[in-house]
């Protein structure tokens, strides 16, 4: 039975804090029902929304072959998803700024001076590592979640908390010093390990449709809030672990977090709807679960639609590039680099050679040809190194971010609901 535990918070700090921050009070910590083995019934509308979302995800994952290098689309959507996941927690960085920091770090071995970009890059590294740790049919474990969280916080000021389940009470909203005015208080720390074990058991079941399972797993994780920091990003990574384990999204990540960030008030209200009190058989429990699952399924479907529109744009760009270049021999270095650019919009000669599996000289010639046609543009990355960027792809990526930030999916008729890069 979902319940609250009444607790007493006593503040011993007297000096240097406002009256609000040094308050003592009674508060209620919420304890959710277990998920493993629980029967969850979906109403007709919610079930139909889930079915639509699953079909769309499967089609994107299996059918993104019109973009020649489907892995390129996967890399770019991974980057978009991680950026959005970070933005929900307040780390904002534009596409060009992030890509240049990534180029300095990954291509040139230099440490970027952009602290925010470094943290977002850590999110990408953690997400990529987590995805590779689970294949269809594998189990999802608590240790995998801890490893993800450890990688996520590795290069931040909170690195010491990485991969460590909290041993103190936390809360959402209100004062930083007490839970007296908190919007939500998660379970007491002594209950967290057991709730995480139950959550992973639920993630390894197959009784629910995969999208509904991912929705419930995410909501439960956010309710448990097992870490000092990084709960949102870890909880959103769990969505993709579930979808990958169930075989829906094995290559392409639908950028669900981008839509959740746009529908922020609906997202929060959906999570709150799952935090009923009383028996799991209650009307409140049933209605709350159905509201959240339907809302999550709609976000997943919207994410797929917008990702597909980016693929269409990438196809159009590749046709334009080939028209600009004239004759391009199949499987030449130029041909291979054109295919790779959507997933790697900034390259050096060395990274391009590795990317396309050709010699340094061949990659250099290909870059020279693409630069001469205006497809690539030279820039400085780091202290003294040359790199080349494909502005059209970066601008298309920016357009995708803006589109996903629009509540209706069209920034010309529906302004972005959150901070995004300006239109070029």
In percent, how much of the chain has pLDDT > 70? 82
Give the length of the chain. Answer: 424
pLDDT at residue 383 is higher than 60: no
Residues 257-277 pLDDT 10s: 888 888 989 999 999 999 999
By C-alpha distance, which of 236, 290, 89 is closest to 172? 89
Q: What is the 3-state secondary structure (H, E, C) of the chain?
A: CEEEEEEEECCCCCCCCCCCCCCCEEEEEEECCCCCCCCCCCCHHHHHHHHHHHHHHHHHHHHCCCCCCHHHHHHHHHHHHHHHHHHHCCCCCCHHHHHHHHHHHHHCCCCCCCHHHHHHHHHHHHHHHHHHCCCCCCCCCHHHHHHHHHHHHCCCCCHHHCCCCCCCCCCECCCCCCCCCCCECCCCHHHHHHHHHHHHHHHCCCCCCHHHHHHHHHHHHHHHCCCCCCHHHHHHHHHHHHHHHCCCCCCCCCCHHHHHHHCHHHHHHHHHHCCCCECCCCHHHHHHHHHHHHHHHHHHHHHHHHHHHHHHHHHHHHHHHHHHHCCCCCCCHHHHHHHHCCCCCEECHHHHHHHHCCCHHHHHHHHHHHHHCCCCEEEEECCCEEEEECHHHHHHHHHHHHHHHCCCCCCCCCCCCCCCCCCC
Residues of the chain with CATH 1.10.10.10: 311-405
Q: Where residue 73 falls among pLDDT bands split at 50, 70, 90?
A: low
Q: Where residue 68 falls among pLDDT bands split at 50, 70, 90?
A: very low
Average pLDDT score over residue span 313-322 = 89
Residues of the chain with CATH 1.10.3290.10: 3-309
Residues 137-183 pLDDT 10s: 999 999 999 998 998 888 778 899 999 999 999 999 999 899 999 99
Q: Where residue 103 falls among pLDDT bands split at 50, 70, 90?
A: low
Q: Which is more confident, 186 or 354? A: 186
Average pLDDT score over residue span 6-25 = 85
Q: Residue 66: its pLDDT value, please?
A: 44
Average pLDDT score over residue span 199-226 = 97
Average pLDDT score over residue span 190-206 = 98
Q: Where residue 126 falls among pLDDT bands split at 50, 70, 90?
A: confident
Q: Residue 325: its pLDDT value, please?
A: 94
CA distance 314 to 74: 13
Residues 144-157 pLDDT 10s: 999 989 988 887 78
Average pLDDT score over residue span 376-398 = 79
Work out the mean pLDDT of the chain and round it to a whole number.
86
pLDDT at residue 81 is higher than 70: no
Q: Where residue 328 falls among pLDDT bands split at 50, 70, 90?
A: very high
At what angle are helices 44-63 and 210-224 packed, to 10 degrees? 100
Q: Residue 155: its pLDDT value, please?
A: 73
φ, ψ of residue 268 to 5 degrees: the values are: -65, -40
CATH second-level architecture of 3-309?
Answer: Orthogonal Bundle (1.10)
**CATH dotted code for 311-405:** 1.10.10.10
What pTM was estimated for this model as a whole? 0.86
């Amino acid at each position: 039975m979902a319940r609250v535990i009444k607790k007493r918070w006593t503040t011993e700090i007297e000096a240097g804090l406002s009256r609000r921050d040094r308050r003592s009070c009674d508060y209620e910590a919420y304890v959710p029902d277990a998920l493993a083995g629980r029967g969850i019934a979906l109403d007709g509308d919610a079930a139909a929304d889930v079915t639509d979302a699953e079909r769309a995800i499967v089609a994107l994952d299996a059918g993104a072959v019109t973009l020649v290098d489907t892995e390129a689309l996967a890399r770019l959507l991974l980057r978009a998803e991680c950026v959005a996941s970070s933005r929900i927690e307040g780390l904002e960085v534009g596409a060009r700024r992030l890509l240049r920091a990534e180029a300095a770090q990954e291509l040139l071995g230099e440490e970027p001076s952009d602290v925010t970009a470094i943290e977002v890059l850590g999110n990408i590294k953690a997400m990529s590592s987590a995805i590779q740790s689970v294949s269809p049919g594998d189990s999802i474990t608590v240790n995998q979640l801890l490893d993800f969280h450890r990688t996520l916080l590795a290069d931040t000021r909170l690195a010491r908390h990485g991969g460590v389940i909290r041993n103190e009470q936390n809360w959402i909203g209100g004062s930083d010093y007490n839970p007296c005015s908190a919007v939500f208080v998660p379970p007491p720390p002594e209950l967290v390990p057991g709730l995480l074990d139950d959550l992973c058991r639920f993630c390894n079941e197959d009784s629910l449709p995969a999208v509904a399972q991912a929705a419930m797993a995410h909501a439960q994780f956010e309710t448990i809030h097992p870490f000092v920091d990084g709960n949102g990003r870890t909880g959103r990574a769990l969505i993709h672990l579930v979808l990958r384990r169930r075989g829906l999204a094995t290559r392409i990540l639908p950028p669900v977090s981008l839509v959740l960030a746009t529908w922020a008030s609906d997202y929060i209200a959906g999570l709150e709807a799952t935090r009923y009190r009383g028996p799991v058989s209650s009307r409140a429990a049933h209605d709350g679960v159905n509201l959240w699952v339907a809302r999550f399924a709609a976000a997943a479907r919207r994410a797929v639609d917008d990702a597909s529109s980016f693929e269409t744009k990438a196809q159009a760009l590749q046709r334009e590039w080939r028209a600009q270049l004239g004759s391009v021999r199949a499987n030449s270095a130029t041909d291979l680099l054109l295919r790779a650019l959507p997933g790697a919009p900034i390259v050096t000669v060395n990274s391009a050679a590795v990317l396309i599996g050709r010699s340094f000289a061949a990659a250099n010639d290909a870059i020279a040809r693409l630069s001469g046609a205006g497809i690539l543009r030279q820039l400085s990355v780091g202290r003294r190194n040359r790199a080349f960027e494909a502005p059209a792809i970066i601008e298309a990526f920016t357009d995708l971010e803006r589109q996903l930030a629009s509540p209706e999916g069209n920034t010309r008729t529906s302004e972005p609901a959150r901070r995004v890069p300006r239109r070029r």
